[in-house]
Structures are given as C-alpha cells and as structure tokens.
A and B are shown apart, each in its own frame.
Chain A
Amino acid sequence: MDARFLVVIGIAGMLALSLGLIYFVIIHQRKVLQHHIESLKAQQEYEQQLQIVSLEAQEQTMSQLASELHDDIGVTLSSVKLFLSKSSDARPELMIQSRLLLDESIEKLRNLSHSLHPATLQHLGLSTAIQSMLDAINQTGLVSTAFVCSGETRKLPEDIELPLYRVVQELLNNLIKHAALTHIRVHISVQDNVLRIILNHNGQGINNEEYHAALFKKGAIGLKGIYNRIQLLKATLNFEQLPGQHFQISILTPLNTSR
C-alpha cells in the first residue's frame, strides 16, 4: 500500500480516536456533574423538609404549652386568688402580699402564654401582632417605638405569618438585649407581591458580615432560628448601617413563591 495513503488513513484514524476520547470524557463528566447536582438538590430538599417538620413540631409544642399554661395553671392560680380573697383568718398584710404575688404570677403567665402562641397573630394578623409586640416594648418606658403599616394589609397564610413573627420577635429581643437602643421603628408594606418589614433603630447595629460571622458561632440558637426561617420563606434578610448612626434590618419575603 502507498505510504502516503497509510499516513493519511493513520492520521485520520488517530485524530478520530482522540476526538472521540475527548468527546466521551466531556459527555461522561457532564453526566456525572448532572447526577451530582441532582443528588445535591435532593439532599437540599430533604434538609428543607426536615427544617419545616422541625419548625412545625416546635410551633405545635409551643402552642400546646401555651394552652396548658393558660387553661390549666392560669385557672389554678386564679382559683387560689379567689380562695385568698374569701379567707378572713390570715393577717391582712400577708393577704395583700399574697394577692400581689399572685397577680404578678398570673400576668407573667399570661405574657408567657402569649409569646409562646400569640393569639393576636392567629386572629388579627402579622401587622397587629407586631404592633402589639412594639406596644409592649413601649410600655417598659426604656425604648420608644413607632409602627407604620402601608399598602395592602390583608391576612397572610399562617405558614408565612408565624415564621415572620418569630423572626421579628427574635430580632427585637436581640436588639433590646444587645443594641443599647432608645428607639425602634418598624415599617411594614407590600409592594409587587413582596412583603417588606423594615426595622430601623438608633442602637449599636451589625452588618451582613457580622451577622454571618455570629451565625456560625457556637450556641447562636436564636440567630440560627432566624436563618432557618428566612431560608424556609425564601426571603432575604439584610443588615446595613445608614448615615447618622442609624441601623436598618430589612426582611423581604416574596408572597407568590411555592414553599
């Protein structure tokens, strides 16, 4: 056979094999990557489901506990108060002291029961529940609060309202504990099917980097709860410093996303 023909056939054959090999490697790797991405997605979905179940169980326990506290121990304490008021044997100053202590216990119990399962949220919606939370803070006299609600304020599904309420509750709790603030303003609005909750305060705030750094610290249960709920809602949480030593925390929740 002619050497030139052999060379041409040989080169063509070798190149076809090489290109075939490269093509095979690319296709194979693409399939492996696709499989890897699919398994990662499945794992992520599973973790999200686990989170939902865990948060639902947590809410259910809190609701049961609140009901028990309110209906059982609360009624018991009220009965004791009634018995004390009817009793005439004891010394009057002790009676007064006991009644005061009982009143305080009943009030604390009511507050605890309310924070575990907020009836306001269940019946009147997120805006009213947050407003009532701010009123309670205002009543302490240490922090002044302001609440603004603009746009459509319809009642949202419970799977959106309850996690959002918990997030705002935890954020307010953290601000009062750590931010050394004197004023908080909360603004709720719905624009383009996005629920915006903006918290402005004049204390010592944090930025996004500090939030993420704190999130991965050991024991940051409250922040992890916030993070999980935000993920669950497919919402975004943003911490930023505004000019003039003011800080802003914004929570943007899409309302038409399937969860």
Chain B
Amino acid sequence: MLKLTLQYISICAPLIPLLIFIFRRSHFVLSKWLLFYLLISLVNDVLLMMIAKGRLVFDSYYLIHGFMMAEFILLSFYFQGQKIFPLRQRCLIPAITGLGLAAYWYIVYCTAFAALNGGGCALFSLIIISYAIFGFEKLTRKAVPVFLEQTALFWTTSGFLLFFSACFFLYLLWQHIPKSGLANSLWFIVHDGFNIIKCIFIAVSFTRKTDQ
C-alpha cells in the first residue's frame, strides 16, 4: 500500500515544481534545464506506469535507457550553467558528460539492452553527486558570503545530492536485489521517497529570487 501510494505521489511530484515555475514565472536562463528534466521525468514515469499496467506495449528498458541518458545530459547542462568549476576548468563537465555517456553505452552494449543498466546508472549518480559537492564548494567560495537558503543552487544541489546518494547503492546492487518481496518494495520506497524530496527541493529553488 505504502509502495503504491509513494509510486503515485512520486509520479505526480514533478508537477509541484512545474506549477510553481508557471505561477511564479521563475527565471528561465538556468531553470530551463530543470524544467525540461521535470517534464521528461513526468512523461517517463507516466509511460512506465502505462506499460506496467498493460495499456501501452513497449519495451520499458529502452525508455529507461533513454531517460537515464537524457537526465544525465540535462543535469550536466544545468551544473555547467551554474559555473560550479572555475573558468579554466569549464570544459570538465562536457568532457565528463561525454565519457559518462560512452561508459553507459558501453556497459549496455556489453551486458543487455533489456535490463536496467545498474552500473551505468550508479556511474551517473556518482558524477551528479560530485557535481553537487562542487556546487556546495562554489557557494562557500563566494567573495561576499550569501544566505544559503536564499540561493536556488543550494536547494537544487541538496535535492540532487540526497536523491542520487540514496539511489547510488540501489543502482549498483540492482542485480542482487530480489525482484519481488520486501527488498523489492524497499527499492521502490527509497527511490520514490527521495524522488519526492528532490522535487520539493527543486520547487523551493524555483521560489528563490534568482536561479543562481
């Protein structure tokens, strides 16, 4: 019951920041990447649910691979826009994104298309976690100190850090988790629970004065 409730709330969770974005007319320069991310996240979850209920016939793993890569690219663009690295190291994110995508594709190619690429997803999670850490580093190295809770970057970074930290081991040990029973439910509860938290944090970031 808890699993199912959380699953539905998690699917609808991107609507919270999306609605806040529309009503508050938030800044669009950097938030656009988050906006696209929330939109594809919503569409992906709805399609996955329809596939699971048999209302749509499609190989869900193709959808998941596509979503994982799109998520990684959009979040990389977002952190690139936030200038989390000093000027001389700005090419790091495009390079890491390229390597990450190549690694993901290689793992999929070597293992199987019709399975969740746990290793690739864990790699993406690790990269986003490191971006989040650099995001915090950027906030603390500002010449004029800022009130963290007033910056959008603090909320988005915290949201992504918590979500991807919670999901890292889930992805990494995906193959060893039983496909039914309590352990499987735990997988979904953790994933969906932290997805909701992440969406709430993004929604808070949209209420800030700037998107920096």
Interface residues of A (CB under 8 A from B): 3-4, 6-8, 10-11, 14-15, 17-19, 21-22, 25-26, 28-29, 32-33, 36
- Interface stretch, picked from B40-48, B56-64, B77-85, B159-167, is B159-167
Interface residues of B (CB under 8 A from A): 129, 133, 136, 139-140, 144-148, 154, 158, 161-162, 165-166, 168-170, 172-173, 176-178, 183, 186-187, 190
The answer on a CB contact under 8 Å between B139 and A29 is yes
Question: Given A3-B177, A6-B173, A25 and B145 touching (CB < 8 A)?
Answer: no
The answer on a CB contact under 8 Å between A22 and B145 is no
Question: Given A10-B172, A29-B139, A15 and B148 touching (CB < 8 A)?
Answer: no
Residues of chain B with a CB closer than 8 A to A7's CB: 169-170, 173, 176-177, 183, 186-187
The answer on a CB contact under 8 Å between B177 and A26 is no
Q: Chain B's nearest CB lies how many Å from the CB of A3?
A: 3
The answer on a CB contact under 8 Å between A32 and B140 is yes
Task: Give Cα distance in the complex from A185 to B150, angstroms.
Answer: 49
Q: A3-B176, A4-B183, A25-B140 are in contact. List 8 more A-B contacts (CB 8 A).
A: A4-B177, A4-B186, A14-B166, A15-B162, A21-B161, A29-B145, A29-B146, A33-B147
Which 6 residue pairs of A and B lie closest in terms of their CB atoms, listed nearest first?
A: A10-B169, A3-B176, A14-B165, A18-B165, A32-B145, A4-B183
Q: Chain A's nearest CB lies how many Å from the CB of B207?
A: 19
The answer on a CB contact under 8 Å between A29 and B165 is no
Residues of chain A with a CB closer than 8 A to B178's CB: 4
Q: Chain A's nearest CB lies how many Å from the CB of B84?
A: 14
Q: Can you name 28 A-B residue pairings with CB atoms under 8 Å?
A: A3-B173, A3-B176, A4-B177, A6-B173, A7-B173, A7-B176, A7-B177, A7-B183, A7-B186, A10-B172, A11-B169, A11-B170, A11-B190, A14-B165, A14-B168, A14-B169, A15-B165, A15-B166, A18-B162, A18-B165, A21-B133, A25-B139, A25-B154, A28-B140, A29-B140, A33-B145, A33-B147, A36-B145
